[in-house]
Amino acid sequence: MAKNIQAIRGMNDILPAVTPLWQFVEDTFRQLMKSYAYDEIRMPILEKTELFKRSIGEVTDIVEKEMYTFDDRNGDSLTLRPEGTASCVRACIENGLLHNQTQRLWYTGPMFRHERPQKGRYRQFHQMGVEVFGFAGPDVDAELIMMSARLLKNLGLADIVRLEINSLGVSEERQAHRTELVKYFEQHQDQLDEDSQRRLHSNPLRILDSKNPAMQSMIESAPRLADFMGEETQQHFTRVCDFLAEAGIAYTVNHRLVRGLDYYSKTVFEWVTDELGAQGTVCAGGRFDGLIEQLGAKPSPAAGFALGIERMVALLEGKNVSVNQNPDVYLIAAGEKAEQLAIVFAERLRDINKDLSLMLNCGGGSFKSQMKRADKSGARYALILGDDEIAKNSIAIKDLRENKPQIDIQLDDYSQIAKLMLNDEALLIDKI
Ligand code: ATP
Ligand code: MG
């Protein structure tokens, strides 16, 4: 026999046992987007490699070592998107959505990064993201953070996450800080690990979020970006903090929070948890006022965030959250005549109540084996159609979860059946 073909490492099948939790996250997010009046945008999964190099930054982990890049049949260098912001900005510029207008957008879909697979870190993973364009003030930063706080609350995860925020200033401020930072790290070069040595002149800011225990106290005393911030930047950050305080959202300012992508400026934030080991960041974002100009369009302020669905689902699993996706009803049909009737009857019930989840017995079987399947399906009720019922022109309803006598209803009494099937449980229970 031929050898089974397996999935690519780090790219997971998401199986029926967990898709209900995925849908819970996705539905909660969609509902949230509606309540904040954001619009959906959908972008391709493949983009020109140049787009990510120019936006994420040449000396970031993503561009240096994590992208799935290949030449297509025309010899063009293409990359499977490692994140959504670059594509979203590209799409908005290309379609004229930024010129003299504002946008509040969301997207969802798979992202690809060639990382070392481990719990909470995969090579194909899924994000839900939000981007706003054309708003320069701190109010929209606060709106985004409050929105992410509400999402975590609606998912029931508020008690296991905490918010960290920081300001990365504007380009000139970062430059001034960078000069001092490099000087400082050069003085402590003997304490820098290999990764940090490499970043010293390419991306020294990233050294600040090194997790290497041996470097912590040295990093803690490094020059702080906050000390290089001008009045405007400082005020912007203070306003964001004030909005959050007013909304009762707890946060800590982490002056070492720098984010892994180059395009951020001013406000940045992360929701972190202790429940997922080293993969502690579940949602992250910030302002990126320079990106649109960097990609060749007229400058426009922008901000956004993205969350990893896998990590949200892992948190829900850790809390033993389960979502009931059992059918309401299992329709049993014993005998050829009953089968014929049942398939039409099932359609009729779905006409009457579109919310009804009805599983029709397929593949025949004895009454006993069908009852077993009904039980296994997790359905609350079995509808039973057998020779006896057909003779009486009726159908039997049996509560599968509570010990009650079954009842008969006339088969053509659709209004009565409709009432029962409209999830009018009280009526059903009464009758039984
Ligand atoms: P990390 O520090 O964990 O590598 P990141 O800073 O690279 O995260 P972002 O690029 O900001 O992450 O992406 C936003 C979110 O997407 C993360 O907070 C995380 O929830 C999720 N995410 C990022 N990379 C992965 C991955 N390889 N597998 C699963 N989820 C991921
Ligand atoms: Mg990463």
User: What is the pLDDT, as a whole number, of residue 430?
Assistant: 43
Q: Identify whether residues 164 and 261 lie together within a single domain.
A: yes
* Residue 334: predicted pLDDT: 93
Question: Looking at residue 428, what is its pLDDT?
Answer: 47
Q: Is the domain of 48 the same as that of 108?
A: yes
Whose CA is closest to 394, among 412, 374, 368?
A: 412
Instruction: Residue 311: give its domain's CATH number.
Output: 3.30.930.10
Q: Are residues 118 and 39 in the same domain?
A: yes
Same domain flag for 389 and 351: yes
Task: Tell me, using a 6 A CB cutoff, whether residue 177 lines ligand 1.
Answer: no
Say which ligand is closest to the CA of 86. 1
Distance 235 CA to ligand 2 centre (A): 30
Q: How large is the angle between the packed helices 171-187 and 194-202, nearest 10 degrees?
A: 140
Residues 298 and 371 both lie in one domain? no
Distance CA 169, CA 286 (A): 11
- Measure the CA–CA gap between 311 and 215, rounded to whole angstroms: 28
- Res 352: pLDDT: 81
Which residue, judged by its Cα, is nearest atom 22 of ligand 1? 308
> Is the shortest distance between the CB of 383 and ligand 1 below 6 Å?
no
Q: From the CA of 261, how far away is ligand 2's center (Å)?
A: 9
334-343 long-range Cβ contacts below 8 angstroms, 24+ apart: 334/366, 334/367, 334/370, 334/384, 334/385, 334/386, 334/387, 335/386, 335/387, 335/390, 337/387, 337/390, 338/385, 338/386, 338/387, 338/389, 338/390, 339/364, 341/385, 341/390, 341/411, 342/385
pTM of the predicted model as reported, rounded to 2 decimal places:
0.92
Give Cα 51 distance to the centre of its chain: 23
Q: With bands split at pLDDT 50, 70 and 90, how would you rate the model's confidence at 348?
A: confident
User: Which CATH number characterizes residue 405's domain?
Assistant: 3.40.50.800
pLDDT band (50, 70, 90) for residue 341 = very high
Residue 2 or 143, more confident = 143
Alpha carbon nearest to ligand 1 atom 19, residue: 308
- Whole-number Å distance, alpha carbon 113 to ligand 2 midpoint, is 8
Is residue 87 located within the same domain as residue 139? yes
For ligand 1, atom 28, the nearest C-alpha belongs to 121
What is the per-residue pLDDT across 29-77, written as a single tens digit (0 to 9) for each? 999 999 999 999 999 999 999 999 999 988 888 999 999 999 999 999 9
Question: Whole domain around residue 131: which residue ranges?
Answer: 19-169+229-318
In a domain, 360, yes or no: yes
Q: Which two tokens stand for residue 247?
A: 């909304």
Closest ligand 1 atom, CA of 121? 28
- Confidence band (pLDDT; 50, 70, 90) for 219? very high
**Which amino acid residue places its CA nearest to atom 9 of ligand 1?**
284
- Nearest alpha carbon to residue 51 among 10, 80, 8: 80
Contacts of 397 (CB under 8 A, 6+ apart): 381, 382, 383, 384, 406, 407, 408, 409, 420, 428, 432
User: What is the whole-number distance in angstroms between the Cα of residue 293 and the centre of ligand 2?
Assistant: 25
pLDDT above 70: percentage of residues in the chain = 96
Ligand 1: does its nearest atom lie under 6 Å from the Cβ of 389?
Answer: no
CA–CA distance, 226 with 196 (Å, rounded to integer): 22
Report the chain's mean pLDDT, rounded to a whole number.
93
CA of 61 to the centre of ligand 1 (A): 12
314 within 8 A of 276, measured Cβ to Cβ: yes
Asked whether the predicted pLDDT for residue 98 surpasses 70, the reply is: yes
